[in-house]
Amino acid sequence: MTRPADAQAGHSSSYALLVVGVVVADWRMAVLLLRVAGAPDQPPREYLERMFTDAGRGSGNLVDYFDDVSLGQVDLGRSRLFGWMDYGHTKQELADAYRSAYDGKHDELIAAGMSVPAADKGAGDYANEVYRGLIVQWARDAFVAWNAGQDAPASLNDFGDRLICVFNQPIDYFGNPGRTVVNWDPAGPPFSVDLTGVAHEVGHNLGLNHSRLDGSNLEYGDPWDVMSAYDGVHLSTAGAAPGSSAPFLTAGPGLNAANMDLVGWLDPGRVLDLTGAGAGQIQLRPLHRRDLPGYLAVRFILDGRPHYAELRLTTRWDRAIPRPCVLLHRRGIHPAAGNWCSELLTFAVGGTGSARSDLVAGDSITVGDPTRIRAGAVDLAILDIDAQQERATLSFRVRPQRRDLQAGSPFAGVAAGAGGLVWTPGRGLHRVPPHSPVLSVLDALAEYEALQDVTGDGAADLERIRLGRLLQSRDRLDAIVRARQSYQVPAPPTDRSG
């Protein structure tokens, strides 16, 4: 989430502490309280101490949030506040820097022959980068000046050079690796020092990217994920004093399983990986409840990309979501930046024809196209969601992606002059002479057998595809028979005279 333009996130380093056999990343940050002339020091320092540090642990603060969504792997508790300190620059100076960078770059792009709309965008992107770079650099300068007058000067290196810049009035709102900039807005939230907005921008600081909706080019789109920020389903007490049901003005939502896995926070020991053909049932616990025994997510691979099923209940960070539900996400690629991101999947369920993402008891879906045998598919059914017992029961059936080897590739023996073990879909390993034409027949029959398990709409089309595989088998066998019945004309003898 950014204002006025977007900031991309990546990964940054961390220090590791070994605690009772669990690696906990010490992501303590230097929180710089920056005073720009024209507004008082706000919000109160006590509020900021409780939000950003161990002083507020257990109250639903930023430390608690990332402890939960990282499954205990990220600790922000040793973050430290510095200031209030004079920023040393005005909002007008920042605006002037933006305008100067924009005008210079715009003239340069027009002179290079770029169209006006393209030059407008290019100049805006460049000026925004310059502007935001200056915001952080001037904040660092302010810290150096303030720190020099302290009895016990501190070093930003002690915090891995990870900064959270908190301004006393609206300046900007963004995050990128190692950097977060937020501001107090008395008219907010949004875009104030509230938990949802700050958690989103600190998420960028920690390496997270925006969460998206599958099939959409919009920058945000996942209402159940904090990396869609205020577009997400969050609790808000806008206008209410801190201390209500959201003591830091807003709260939630949580973080989805795909995002957790992308930054290494999804405990592999708490994930059921569906590999190979099979069917069964599984009970899921709420995604962020590492204190409860059992699986927290289901993961499977389709079209080369991980997919995740997760349970979310109307509690804690998700207490503003409409209802308990199961969600499916997958790892996607940002259409503009090209970096990894999460994508929320939607399905037409319940016979209404309208698509939705929150699956409830009685919903059944298929992920993937079951008629594309080589692509694979997974059937999921939500049998029950028990909010009191904090669990959901799902059934699944997996038709795995076909990974065809070149026909005749032996697992044992040599490629010519000897037999070998050959893998064929539907039959596994068997002894066939290398490069045998029988392999093509087995291949078509294996697809026919796999299609027997496919159900759903379009029965006539499915039957046509099944019949096609049988006809392929027949035609290939006919070709083998004809070849074996043909006259074998020997090659002429080699002339050895001379």
Distance between CA atoms of residues 324 and 252, nearest Å: 15
What's residue 494's pLDDT?
44
The neighbouring-strand residues paired with 229 are: none
Long-range contacts of 67-71 (CB under 8 A, 24+ apart): 68/254, 68/288, 68/316, 68/317, 69/226, 69/254, 69/255, 69/260, 69/265, 69/288, 69/317, 70/25, 70/260, 70/265, 71/260, 71/265, 71/266, 71/267, 71/270, 71/288, 71/290, 71/296
Distance between CA atoms of residues 114 and 164, nearest Å: 37
- Helix or strand (DSSP H, E) at 398: strand 391-399
Token couple for 311: 């349970």
What's residue 235's pLDDT?
75
Report the candidate in 136, 132, 129, 107 with the shortest Cα–Cα distance to residue 120. 107
Longest pairwise C-alpha distance within the chain: 110
Report the candidate in 437, 443, 445, 448 with the shortest Cα–Cα distance to residue 481. 437
What's residue 453's pLDDT?
60
**pLDDT tens string 410-453:** 444 444 444 455 555 555 565 655 456 666 676 677 767 666 66
What's residue 8's pLDDT?
32
Can you tell me whether residue 137 is helix, strand or coil?
A: helix
- Helix or strand (DSSP H, E) at 381: strand 377-386
Phi first, then psi: what are they for 331, rounded to 5°?
Answer: -75, 125
Which residue ranges in the chain fall short of pLDDT 50?
2-22, 238-244, 405-419, 434, 487-498
- Global pTM value: 0.77
